[in-house]
Structure 1
Amino acid sequence: MVTAAQRRSAFNALHVKGKAFLMPNPFDIGSARILDGMRFDALATSSAGFAWARGVRDAEGLIGRDDALAHAADIISVTSLPVNGDLENGFGDSPEDVVETIKGAIEVGLAGCSIEDYSQDPKIPFYPLDLAVERIKAASAYVKENAPEFVLTARSEGPVKSEHELDQTIKRLNAFKDAGADCVYAPMLKDKAQITKILGAVDAPLNILAGRPNFHLTRKELGDLGVARISIGSGLARLAYGAFTAAAEDMKDGGSFGCFDRDPSAEMPVNFEDFMKAKP
């Protein structure tokens, strides 16, 4: 049986510039079993996917630390792959809150986690840089003392539409790297020129979010640029819930049931039920 330390070591080793390893995000045990069966390099939780499964909105404080860590433990329990945790803002504003979350993440067996600078306060949506840095610094210090191969990812959530915004993102990512982050992540990035600029300005493994509309760079292209890691975020959960909602809408408003004509096992190269646990 693979140990938590082995998962951390394997996950840490994946973070190489240009590797562009793919880390999809299951949103429940069933989707985790499917992705485990396909043998990706690693998996990650999705705060949005889990929130939707619980019937609540993401990033509004409706999912607590204990719930998120219990969900992560569920995902870990059905895979031997390393699992990264999407742990939002660390479930609190202070560096001490973030450390408590990191402690829990290591205890449940996560191989790494991300901490974002989005405060969930609509009046001040992003933490001031000095506080954001102190949060990462405290998290890094705890990791280095207790689980050195645990991968701490720091996220800069701000917009990157203008050159000024992109420069501010670079400033934050560099500050997070200097504070001890092992990987950096700016979810708003999707333009090739912007990604190239970030990679040239920030000397740390970079995660790119690919699971969203109008993202047209391939894994090879991202690897050639120097991207270390590709995550899917809520993309798979959004597709699943979107297909479910569209089928329900067809039934209710159209009164027809053509949405069930498609036979997944006949039309898809992989049948999802093949990955589900069967009776011995």
Structure 2
Amino acid sequence: MQSIQDRRAQFMALHQPGAAFLMPNPFDTGTAHILEGLRFDALATTSAGYAFSRGLKDAEGLITRDLALSHAEEIVSATTLPVNGDLENGFGDTPEDAAETVRGAIEVGLCGCSIEDYSTDPRHPYYDLELAVERIRAAADMKQRLAPDFVLTARSEAPIADAEHLEKTIERLNAFSKAGADCVYAPELIQHDDIVAALNKLDKPLNVLAGRKAFHMTRKELADMGVARISIGGGLARIAYGAFTAAAEDMKDSGTFGCFDRAVGMHDIDAFLRGRA
């Protein structure tokens, strides 16, 4: 069994330009077991998937720091793979909040985490750049003191509707990089040319979110561009809940049970779980 320190070193080493390693997001221990059995290199929690599993909407503030870290600890304990934490905006506005979240992430055995610049304030949904940078700097200082090989990912959340927005996003990502982020991530980087433009101006590994509708680039294409990491976010959870809901509606509305012809067999699930490393 690898130690958490070994897992952190393994996770850090995966972040190479062009590696485009896949980091899917389980939402409970069972899905973590299955993904490990399928031989992925690393896993990540999903704030949306976890919220759904607790009967909550994916809304800021419903999942607290304590809940998120407790869930992360369950996923870490369920796998031998490195686990990254989706820790929203660090569960508070201040640099101290971001630092405290990173401390908690390290304590529960995560190998990395992401911190967003989304403020949750509808009047000012994104932190001013100066504050956003201070939050990442505080988080980076904490991880340097406690676990230097912990991978801190800084996220820029704003939409990218045109060239001006793209430049502002790149400016933010570079500022986060200089503040100590090990990896950068803008979920709205979804167009081929925008990703290439960003990669040409970034000096840290880039994460791209592929778990969305109408995302047609392949892993090879992303690797050829120079993308280091591909995450799925709540994508697998949405597929799971969508299939569950469709089957339930089908049997309720039709009064028939053909929906179960699409179900995975019990022995198949047992085989997925037995396939764990």
TM range (shorter): over 0.9
Q: Is it true that 1:35 corresponds to 2:35 in the alignment?
A: yes
Letter in 1 for 2:272: F
Q: Given the alignment, which residue of 271, 274, 278 partners 2:271?
A: 274
Q: Which residue of 2 aligns with 1:44?
A: 44
Q: Show the 5 A alignment for 1:187-198.
A: 187-198=187-198
Give aligned-pair identity as a percent: 65
Whether the 8 Å contact between 1:59 and 1:120 is mirrored in structure 2 is no
Output the CA distance in 1 between the equivalents of 2:148 and 2:46: 24
Output the CA distance in 2 between the equivalents of 1:170 and 1:118: 16
Whether the 8 Å contact between 1:143 and 1:150 is mirrored in structure 2 is yes
Q: Show the 5 A alignment for 1:73-112.
A: 73-112=73-112
- Structure 1 position 272, deviation (Å): 2.7
- TM-score of the superposed pair, with normalisation by structure 1: 0.95
Output the CA distance in 1 between the equivalents of 2:218 and 2:273: 29
Output the CA distance in 2 between the equivalents of 1:254 and 1:188: 39
CA-to-partner distance for each residue in 1:49-90, whole Å, 9 max, x for gaps? 000101111232000011000101111111110000000000
Output the CA distance in 1 between the equivalents of 2:36 and 2:273: 10
Q: Which residue of 2 aligns with 1:175?
A: 175
Output the CA distance in 1 between the equivalents of 2:114 and 2:149: 14
Q: Which residue of 2 aligns with 1:225?
A: 225
Q: Is it true that 1:216 corresponds to 2:216 in the alignment?
A: yes
Letter in 1 for 2:271: D
Letter in 1 for 2:40: F
- Structure 1 position 263, deviation (Å): 4.8
Output the CA distance in 1 between the equivalents of 2:70 and 2:263: 34
Unaligned ranges ≥5, structure 2: none
Whether the 8 Å contact between 1:205 and 1:227 is mirrored in structure 2 is yes
Q: Is it true that 1:115 corresponds to 2:112 in the alignment?
A: no
- TM-score of the superposed pair, with normalisation by structure 2: 0.96
Number of aligned residue pairs: 275
Q: Which residue of 1 aligns with 2:126?
A: 126
Q: Which residue of 2 aligns with 1:17?
A: 17
In the TM superposition, structure 1's runs of 4+ consecutive aligned residues that sit over 6 Å from their partners are: none
- Structure 1 position 141, deviation (Å): 0.8
Output the CA distance in 2 between the equivalents of 1:245 and 1:265: 18
- Structure 1 position 121, deviation (Å): 1.5
2:259 is paired with a residue of what secondary structure?
helix
Output the CA distance in 1 between the equivalents of 2:144 and 2:242: 41
CA-to-partner distance for each residue in 1:99-121, whole Å, 9 max, x for gaps? 11100000000000000001112
Letter in 2 for 1:272: I
Output the CA distance in 2 between the equivalents of 1:167 and 1:115: 20
Unaligned ranges ≥5, structure 1: none
- Structure 1 position 256, deviation (Å): 1.9
Whether the 8 Å contact between 1:206 and 1:227 is mirrored in structure 2 is yes
Letter in 1 for 2:121: D
Output the CA distance in 1 between the equivalents of 2:19 and 2:186: 18
